[in-house]
Chains A and B, each alone.
Chain A
Amino acid sequence: AAGVIQSPRHLIKEKRETATLKCYPIPRHDTVYWYQQGPGQDPQFLISFYEKMQSDKGSIPDRFSAQQFSDYHSELNMSSLELGDSALYFCASSLNPSGLARVQFFGPGTRLTVL
């Protein structure tokens, strides 16, 4: 079965640079979530989209922005990168979040390293 695809899998950037992470949800899933997992920490919710509209916002810095496109893929744009942004970034997808569709399926993550 198709899973959530994230690209790139690894990314190395310098401080103050920008980065774009991409997420391709499971086919027919219309909701996308972004999470940030720092070293030794639990994943922290950043932002989510349902039907191309932002549905919920968590602890996402103002330097970050995201959007969901007409084909339901999503991109997380990160500017003015800081050392503390080094983390594993997960994307998860689900169906219209109701009932059992609340199960979120996670992608493999993008490991971002800021030097």
Chain B
Amino acid sequence: TQLLEQSPQFLSIQEGENLTVYCNSSSVFSSLQWYRQEPGEGPVLLVTVVTGGEVKKLKRLTFQFGDARKDSSLHITAAQTGDTGLYLCADLTTSGTYKYIFGTGTRLKVLA
């Protein structure tokens, strides 16, 4: 069974700081996705990466996919209070049926 481990588990920073969170898989990713979940809401898709070594940018967010497709990072530049939330990585596993599994999550709090 594939396991997705995220680190750190919690992160509290000041507005304007930079940060990086990580997602590591026990097996090769099929189709890695990053989601952000705000309190009281469901997760919302940020990005999908499929190619090893791929880098995608979404405004101040930079997503990197490891060459071996077993790890990924999310870097936020000049964090804002609006970035506060739970960041989740997910993979589409095809063991048996298509099924999305999620990582343990990184809870980010950006302080004004």
Is the A/B pair a real complex? no
Chain A interface residues (CB < 8 Å from chain B):
none
Chain B interface residues (CB < 8 Å from chain A):
none
